[in-house]
A and B are shown apart, each in its own frame.
Chain A
C-alpha cells in the first residue's frame, strides 16, 4: 500500500484543491507502465516510441527555476485549471459551440487511436491508408449528423430544396459514400501488405464504432437538455476524484490486478460521494431553464434557443419520506426535483461502470505498451486519456433517456406520418382519434371521417 501514499508526492496534491479536476487517472497509468515490461515477452510487439514532451515554451520559461517534480505539478495544475475554465466557457457559449467541441474532440480521439495503430503495425506508409481512414470517419460522421439534422432541424430542411433531397435519400447517399471507400480499400490492396491493410481496416472500424457512435450519443443527449450533458460528465469526473481521495486516505484492499492502485475503499467511498454530489449538482442545475430545456432550433431567428416550459421532471415535487428517515430527520416530506432521483441512477452507473472504461483503456495501453494515448495536453496525455471513462457513460445516458424519460420525438413522428400513403394516414388518423376519444381528450362530438 505504500504505492498509494507514494503518489502523494508530485501531481496529486493538485486534485485535492480542484474539485473538478479531470486528471486523476494519469499518474496511476504512468506507474503502471513500469510493471508491463516483463509481461511482453511474446510475439513481435514493437515498441511505440515515447512521445516527446511538448510543454509550451511559455510555461517552461515561467517554471524554469523549479525542480522537475514541482514543474510537473505546476504544469498539470495550470493545464487542469485551463481545461475547467474552458469547459465553463463553452457551456456559456451555448449548444452550437458545444456541438463543435464534441466534434473536434471526436476527431482528435480518432486521430490518436489511429496513430497508435500506425505505430503498432509500422503501417504509416501504407499506400492510401491514411486517406481512407479519414474518409471513413467523414462518411460515418456524415451519416450520423445527417440523421440528427433531419430529426431536429425538420422545418429548416423542408424549406431548402437541396437539403430536402439530401435528407430524403440520406441513407442511400451515405451508403454510396461508404461503398466508395470500401471499393477504394479493395483496390488499394498491395501484394505484400494484405494482412497489415486488413488489420488497419479492422482497427479503423472498431475505432469508428467506439469513438463516433459515442460522440453522437453525446450530442443526442445534449439536445435533450444541457443538463443531460453536464451532469453525467461531472459525475464521472467527481467519481474519479472522490475515489482517489478515499483511496488516498483509507485505501487498503486492491480492487483489480489490472490497476493495482485502485482500492475497494476508494471504489465504495467514491460511489457514495458521487451519489451525494450528483444529487446536489442536479438540484442546483434544475433551477435554470438554460440547462433544463431541450435545445430547439428556431426557424425564424435561425438560432438555437433554450426556452421552454420545464417539464415535470424539473419541477419541485413533494415526496413523502419513508418512516425510518422521518424519525431521523424530523421531516415528513421533502421537496425534490424528480431529476434528482434519476441522477442517483446516473451516478450509480458512473461509479460502478465508469471505472471499467478506465480499466479497458489501461489494458489497452498496456497491451500496446504506450504510456499515454498521445501528448496533446502537457502533463495529462492525450484527449483520449481524459475521455476514456466518459464513453460508456454517454451511451448509458442515451439508453436511459430513451427507455425511461422521453418517448419518441414528435417531429420525427410527424415526418414519418407525412411520408406515408394517404390511406395509411387515414387509418392512423382514425386509430388516433379513437384512442384520444377513449382518453377523453377529444369531445365525443367529433365528426367521423
Chain B
C-alpha cells in the first residue's frame, strides 16, 4: 500500500468503471450505508471521465463510487426543483439566491473530487518523470502538511481516515458555496475585494512553488520584490479601472485628479524602482536564480493579475457576466464527470488519462443546455443584469437601470426544421441566452485546456496541489485554474460583440483634447447627428 499525502491508496484489481458496487459481506443497512457514504478518497475524480481502470489508477473500488451516483441524483433533483420553483414565481433577490443554492450545492459538493485526478496519477507518473528530468536541477518539492482546522479534526476524530477526508471535503465545499452566494448577496464591492483576495492568494501560491523549486527562499530581497511588483501592477490596473468608472468622484477630489492625470507615469516610476532594486540586489553567486525568480514573478503577474482585472471589468458590465461564466465552468466540470462516469470509454488526452471523449462531448451538450436555462433564470433580475454604477451622491454602488435590449425578451422565429419538430412557430428568448451558448461552448471546448495546463504544470514541478489552503481541496489555484481563460474570453467577447466604448471615458478623453481638436470633433459629431436625424437640420450660424 502506498500512501500519498492524506490518502491511503489500496491496490485493488481493476474495477469495471460502470460496475455496480460489489456487495461483499452482509447486506445489512449499516454496511450499505457505509458503502454509500464511504469516503471517495480513491474514487474517480469529478472532473475526470472515468475510464476502464488502468494500472496507474489505484482505485478504492465500489464503495468509493457510490457517493458520486448519489450526489449526481441529488443534483438532478435539486436543480429541477430549483428551476421549477423559479419559473413559478417572481421572486426577490434573496429568494433567487436560495434557488441558486439549491442548484449548486450538489454541484460543488461533487466538485471536490476533482483533484483526485492529479493526486492519483502522481505516483504512477512519477517514475516516468524522474528519468526525464534528471538533468535539470529540479528538486522535489516537499509534500505539504495537513492544515485541517482543529475543530474539524476533533469532530471527526472517531472516523477512519477515508471518512474523515470525505466529510472534510464535503464541509469545505458547502462552505465555499455558501461563501460564494453570500458575497454575491453582499454586492459588487465585496466581490471586488474577494477577487482581489483570491488574486493575492493565487500569486502567493505560485510564487511559493517557485521558491521551493529553486531553493530560493532565502534570496536577498526577493520576497519583498515579488510583492512589490504585485502591488505596482495592481496599482496600475486598478487605477485605470477607477479612472474609468469613478469619473465623477475623481473629478471632485483634487489629489485623485492629480493621481489620475499622471497615472501612467506614476505606475511606471513605481515599476522602475522595483526594477532598479532588482538590479541592485543581484548577488554574485545567485544571478541565475534571481533571474529565474524575476521571470517567474512576471509570468505569474501576467497570468494572475491581468485575468483578475478582466474578471472585475466583466463584473462592472453586470454581475451576470461574472456569475454565469463561473457557473458554466463549474457546471462543465460536473457534467463532464457525470457523463464520463456513466459512458466514458475513449481517453481524451495522455496528460489526463481519466478524461474521456464521451465525458467531453456529453459535458459540452449538457453545459450548453443548462447554461441556456440558467441564463434565462438570471436575466430576469435587475440586480444581476444592470451595469454596476457608482453613484456619486450616495457614495455607493448602485445596480439599477433600464435593462438593455440584451435582457429583454424577444421573439425569434424557429427555423423550419425545428418548427416541424416542436410545433412552435416562435420562441421567446432573451438575446443573452444566445450569447450564453457561445460562452458555454467556449467553456466546454477550451476550458479543459486550462485544466490540462495546470495539470501539466503540477506534473512538471512534481507537486500534488498548488498549496494547502483549503483542506481537502488544495490551494486556491486548484479551484480556479479553469476559470482563467474563461475570464479573458468573456472580456474579449464583451468588447467585441456586446458593448461599445464607455461613453463617460470618451467624454473624458474629449475634454482633454486641444480646443481646436474639440471644435473639429464637435462639428463632425454635429453633422453626423444631423444626418441621423437626431438634431434639427442646420440653420446657418455665424461662427
Chain A positions near chain B (C-beta within 8 angstroms): 39-45, 121-122, 168-169, 171-172, 175, 179, 182-183, 185-187, 189, 191-198, 202-203, 205-206, 209, 256-258, 353, 356, 359-360, 363-364, 366-368, 392, 395-396, 399-400, 402-404, 407-408, 410, 413-414, 416-422, 424-429, 431-433, 435-436, 439, 441-443, 445-447, 449
Contact = CB atoms under 8 A, between A and B. Distances in A.
Contact of A198 (B129, B261, B457, B528): B457
Contacts of B128: 191-192
B496 A171 contact: yes
Contacts of B272: 353, 392
B110 to A, nearest CB: 25
Nearest to A365: B287
Contacts of A257: 284
Contacts of A187: 349
A256 B288 contact: no
A367 B525 CA distance: 57
Contacts of B489: 175, 179
B145 interface: no
Given A169-B496, A203-B295, A441-B519, 20 more contacts: A172-B496, A172-B497, A179-B446, A183-B446, A183-B449, A189-B456, A191-B350, A194-B129, A198-B461, A399-B265, A400-B265, A413-B510, A416-B501, A428-B507, A429-B535, A431-B507, A432-B525, A433-B522, A435-B518, A449-B529
Given A203-B295, A428-B510, A436-B519, A446 B279 contact: no
A418 B264 CA distance: 27
Contacts of A182: 449, 453, 485
A422 B534 contact: yes
Given A172-B492, A428-B507, A432-B521, A186 B351 contact: yes
A428 B508 CA distance: 10
B147 interface: no
Interface string B471-490: 00000000000000100110
Contact of A195 (B136, B288, B492, B543): B136
11 contacts: A39-B284, A41-B285, A179-B489, A195-B138, A196-B136, A408-B509, A426-B529, A429-B522, A432-B510, A432-B522, A449-B535
Interface residues of B, number: 86
A396 B524 contact: no
A426 B302 contact: no
Contacts, number: 221
A407 B503 CA distance: 17
B253 interface: no
B290 interface: yes
Nearest to B303: A205
B285 A42 contact: yes
B124 to A, nearest CB: 11
Contacts of A196: 136
Given A189-B351, A428-B507, A198 B519 contact: no
B282 A363 contact: yes
B135 interface: yes
B275 to A, nearest CB: 7
A366 B288 CA distance: 8
